[in-house]
């Protein structure tokens, strides 16, 4: 988690319900308090997550320890993960450690990045949280880089890739290695297309 004022940014995965009633999976960094009672989501208004959340007012935020799920969510490739239906507008990912079904109670759409204040309707624990090591953390940081590749300098990205590669080499399992390489390939393709 990252501290923002008296709140923390929780690196998580959000599911929303699309127009065709299918699940949409995306990364999300909601602002939360330490007791996980205050939830503020800040989706960009141009995103599918915003469109779905604005239409339904409901979502599920998942705490996960699967680095491949995080990588695929950032790349928009995680909608195939198994999930259970919760109510009319929510999906719970089976890969989640714990989850929070949220209802939007207030919107501020005056900026490109909307602000949705939410209440927890329901919560659950699916399984124990495995924990994080340096490799899993490296994948999270790489996922953030991948989401910002269009605004960061190539040299800075290359330096970060090499720094995190050391963590992967020292502490990763197969899933973390695959997730890391998937993100590196995406970043390299994106950088190549910007030349």
- pLDDT tens-digit series, residues 97-135: 999 999 999 999 999 999 999 999 999 999 999 888 999
Does the domain at 2-125 match CATH 1.10.540.10? Answer given as no
Q: From the CB of residue 5, how many other CB atoms can be counted at a distance below 10 Å?
A: 6
- Structure confidence at residue 5 (pLDDT): 55
Break the chain into its structural domains and give their ranges. 2-125, 134-193
Specify the pTM: 0.91
Confidence grade of residue 3 (pLDDT, cut at 50, 70, 90)? low
Selected from 3.40.50.300, 1.20.58.290, 1.10.3720.10, 1.10.10.10, the CATH number assigned to the domain covering 134-193 reads 1.20.58.290
Can you tell me the mean pLDDT for 38-63? Answer: 97
The per-residue DSSP string of 1-70 comes to -EEETTEEE--EEEEEE-TTS-EEEEEE--EE-TTS--EEE--BTTSHHHHHHHHH-EEEEEE---HHHH
Tell me the C-alpha distance between 121 and 47, whole Å. Answer: 24
Please count the other Cβ atoms lying within 10 Å of the Cβ belonging to residue 89. Answer: 20
């Amino acid at each position: 988690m990252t501290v923002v004022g008296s709140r923390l940014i929780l690196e998580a995965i959000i599911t929303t319900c699309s127009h065709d009633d299918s699940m949409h999976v995306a990364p999300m960094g909601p602002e939360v308090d330490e007791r996980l009672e205050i939830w503020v989501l800040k989706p960009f208004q141009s995103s599918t997550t915003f469109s779905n959340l604005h239409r339904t007012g409901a979502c599920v935020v998942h705490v996960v320890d699967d680095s491949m799920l995080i990588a695929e969510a950032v790349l928009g490739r995680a909608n195939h993960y198994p999930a259970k239906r919760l109510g009319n507008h929510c999906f719970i990912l089976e890969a989640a450690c714990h989850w929070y079904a949220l209802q939007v109670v207030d919107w501020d759409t005056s900026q490109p990045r909307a602000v949705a204040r939410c209440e927890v309707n329901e919560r659950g624990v699916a399984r124990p949280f495995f924990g994080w090591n340096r490799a899993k953390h490296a994948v999270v940081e790489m996922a953030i880089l991948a989401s910002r590749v269009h605004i960061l300098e190539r040299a800075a990205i290359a330096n970060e890739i090499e720094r995190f590669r050391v963590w992967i080499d020292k502490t990763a399992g197969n899933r973390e290695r695959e997730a890391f390489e998937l993100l590196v390939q995406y970043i390299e393709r994106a950088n190549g297309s910007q030349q």
